[in-house]
Structure formats: C-alpha cells, structure tokens
Structure 1
C-alpha cells in the first residue's frame, strides 16, 4: 500500500494530494505523451531538520531535456525550484521518492504534440526499499525498444509498456526482475534499471548505443569506479556473459545498487566485493558523508 506525501504540485499550485485530479479525457492518458523524473530524498542522519536529495540538478536537467521531445520548454531551474518548495511544504521525516511528470494536459483526441496544452506536476511517496536485497532475474521474451522508433534519450512514459510487460512476465514466472535484450540480442537494461557485470576485476556495462536509458545512478557508479581505480568498460554485453560473470548488479534511482543472485536457472557467486564496495560508497555519498562528492547532494532546510 503506497503512502503518499500530503502535498502535491498540480496546475501551477501546491494543494493536498487528494485534490490533485485529472480529467479522464486528458490527452497523455490516451497517447502516452508524458515524461517522468524520479529522485530519492532522505532526512539527514546528522540533522533531521535537513533533507538530502541526490543529484538534484542532473535529474532536473534530464526532465527538462525529456520535455523537449514533447515540444515543451521547461527550464531545469524551474523544476529545481518547484521540487525544493515541494520538499519544504511536505516536511518528510522518512525516506521518500519524488515523481515529477511532464505531460500533454489538453483534452480531446488525436495523437499530436502541436496545439495541445502541456503541464508539469509533482507528487511523492514514502519509499525505503524498491527491490529485495538481492534479486533473481529472467531474460525477458520482450525486447527493449530501439532509438529509431522511440526517443530513448528521454524518460518517456510511452516506453514503460515494455518495462511493464517484462516485469509482470518475470514476477509471474517466479522471478523478481527482468533483463531485456535489444533488437541485436545484446543486453540492454532491466525493467527500470541499468545492468552491470564484473568479469576478472573489470566493471562492464552496456554502452549508450545499446538502447539503454542514460541512467543518473549508472553515471554515478561509473564515476565512483574510476575514482576507486576499478577498470571499467562500456560495450555490448552478450546474454551468455550474465551466466558466467563474477558479479552482476542492477542500479537505478529507486533500486539504488541491487545485486543479482540468479539469472534464469544459473546461480551467481555470493561473494561480491566490487558490488559491495560501490554500494557502501553510494550510501555514504547519499548520506552526505563523503566530502569529495558533496556537489552531488543538495541539502534542503525544512526550517
């Protein structure tokens, strides 16, 4: 059962979450013409009157870029200002997830992006763990879309139909999560997370040409690995590599870093030194305990 934050931002005003209502004729509901963001916030363990947001500016810039696919000019600075006020008005006291959404808000039919009103909203929900501590994955029968048919550089709502099909297929067949291959049969991503493997001490992840979402947590993990002296490689990854890797993990804003213990009927090693090192580092950064990465964390004063 989801527990939502009390205040939402809707139609250019802050109001109680229960009063933020959309018409059943809203254009985006019918045509998938929306773009989402998602970021985590936690109370500062050292000061409960402060909220820590991880990589706020990157999240705001990505949503601004995604809005451009919808022919909507929404500045990253505007998104940031509204998110900060959203947090201050809600005064959250436990870990939470912020969901900003850009969408075609006009009423009526006909798939289009011209001559249709757009809008921007924000809501949030309390969220601790999104996935179990380790997950079992199946290779989905569904393929990740190609950038030739869907603008994958945006976090667009229409893309999530394949994620939903893959996730349900995985769960209903006894797994926790799905891994999608692209049209060339190479590993792309999970239902809403990027994929990393470790082989012979090298950290490997599918490159941006593999139809992945350019994840912010993915970028953070790559930066941390470089700083820690872990060899990294962005390249095409074969399905068979998942089965013989030393370590495999997923990463994303909601999932954070989550190790994979099984792919299909292949069990993976329980020792995960690189995954654990990156997990511990990322937790320390999000809790603002790593001075070198302090620019990644925005501190919001609740007053």
Structure 2
C-alpha cells in the first residue's frame, strides 16, 4: 500500500484522504472519461521547510487543456491554487507525487460529455524512484499506440491508458521492465507512461509531436536543457531498428525522471551513457533549485 498524503482535495474542499470516495456508479469510472496530471514535489535540500514543484504552471495548463476535451471549463489558475494549498496543508517531509484528476462525476450509464456533471480532485503519495535509476530492459510491445484521429492524445485521457496497462503487463510477464510502443505507422512512439530519446553520433533524437506521442513536460524540458548545453537535438521519426544500434536510449517523465535503458529486446546497449547522465545530472540540479538559469521553472512553497 502506498503512503498517501493525509489530506485530499475532493468535491470542492479539503478532506482526509480516507474520506475522499466516489460511488461505484460514477460515470467516469465506467467510460474512462477523465483526465489527469502528475507532478513531483521535492523537499528543498537547502531548507527542509520548503517544497519545490517543477514546472507547476505548465502542468496546470496541460490539465486545463485536457479538461477541455471533456467539455469541462477548469482554469489553470484554479488548478494551481488548489495544488499549492494542497501542499501547504499536507506539509510533506519526503519526496512525493501529486495526482490531480478531472472526470465526469455524475451517476449514469450513457456515454456522453454533454449535460453531465464534472469534477476535480487532487491527492498525493510519497514516491522515490519509479524505475531503477541504474537502467532497465525494454521490449517492443505487440500493442500499438492509439492515433490522434481516434483519441485526443495531447491530453492525458484516463481511458487511453488501457493500452499502457496491457503493454506494461506484457513486458513484465515476458521478463522485461518496460515496454516501447510503436505508432500506427510502425515508428517508435513512447513507453507506457514515458517519452523516449535515443542518442546516435552525439545527437539527441526523439519522436516529434506529430507521432502520436504525449506532449510530455519532462520531454520538453530535456529538449530545452540539451540545446542550452549545446547538444544537437533532432525531433523526427525513429525506426525500430535504430533502437538496437543506438549509442544511448533513455525514457523520461515526471515519475520516471530520466531512466537509462540498458537493453532493448535482446540487444544490449553500450554501458557508456555520457549524454544521458549529463542531462540527468542537470535535471536533478534544476529540480532541486540549484541552477539560477531555470529558477522560473520552480515553484517554492513554504510548509
């Protein structure tokens, strides 16, 4: 059982986490008509009474945009205010993860988005490493990423994650840590909850946003950081075979941070991961508010 933070935001107020419950007839539970965000909270290494949130504005804006797909007008400013109050009330003392969620909260059985109540909640849990920081193994999933013409993939729509769940379990059951999904055109897309980067000839390469990927906030941050470090970045289609001959491969996301990939299928990747580690060290420095160049990416909350 995860260690959940004691206070949740639910139905417009802050309540004990144990009291934040929905009915088994809740519409969003049946039809996947929800959307979520996720962001990490870090305890300031220089001040244990401060929590650091990474790119809070960007996370709130993405969730607000995801809510629009559900015909739910929820402003980024509202989400931001609730999250800051949530952190202040919980006063966390260990690294943690925040899960804000919007959903159709009516009790009904007709799949629709019109004339139906929507709602918004926030909870959190303590979180260390989501995947091994030393590196993981990946398989190519037999499941394909959905297409944007059938699902709004730029939003974190809850129903879309059935594919991630199928792919993750398939990977683990077959002896791997994680799965890499192809898109409908047979190009490398993303992992089950992370974006993917490869390195070839000292160039950082990642699928571009028209490849049915999630527009990841960590992904966007890494592209910016790499360019600032004068690492050449190319956003383009990636073929499956490039994974097997890449100099480096890593996954990234809010939960995963930057996770090196040691093996794809039965192809072992080089142990030297110079660019991956350089980016990982810089991202850690930024999230701990130790780099003044990126201070505007960090929201400081006194607890």
Q: State TM-score, norm by structure 2.
A: 0.99
State the alpha-carbon separation in 2 of the partners of residues 43 and 260 from structure 1.
27
State the alpha-carbon separation in 2 of the partners of residues 236 and 229 from structure 1.
22
1:178 aligns with 2:179: yes
State the alpha-carbon separation in 1 of the partners of residues 147 and 136 from structure 2.
26
Which residues of structure 2 form unaligned runs of 5+? none
SS at match of 1:136: strand
SS at match of 1:210: coil
Aligned-pair distance for 1:103?
A: 0.2
State the alpha-carbon separation in 2 of the partners of residues 114 and 210 from structure 1.
30
Give the aligned CA root-mean-square deviation in angstroms: 0.4
Q: How does 1:10-159 map to 2 (within 5 A)?
A: 10-133=10-133, 134-159=135-160
State the alpha-carbon separation in 2 of the partners of residues 233 and 221 from structure 1.
12
SS at match of 2:49: strand
Tell me the alpha carbon deviations over residues 202-251 of structure 1, each in whole angstroms, 9 at most, x when there is no partner.
00000011100000000000000000000000000000000000000000
State the alpha-carbon separation in 2 of the partners of residues 158 and 294 from structure 1.
35
State the alpha-carbon separation in 2 of the partners of residues 146 and 93 from structure 1.
41
Partner residue in 1 for 2:250: 249
Partner residue in 1 for 2:221: 220
Total equivalences in the alignment: 302
Aligned-pair distance for 1:42?
A: 1.0
State the alpha-carbon separation in 1 of the partners of residues 273 and 168 from structure 2.
25
State the alpha-carbon separation in 2 of the partners of residues 59 and 144 from structure 1.
23
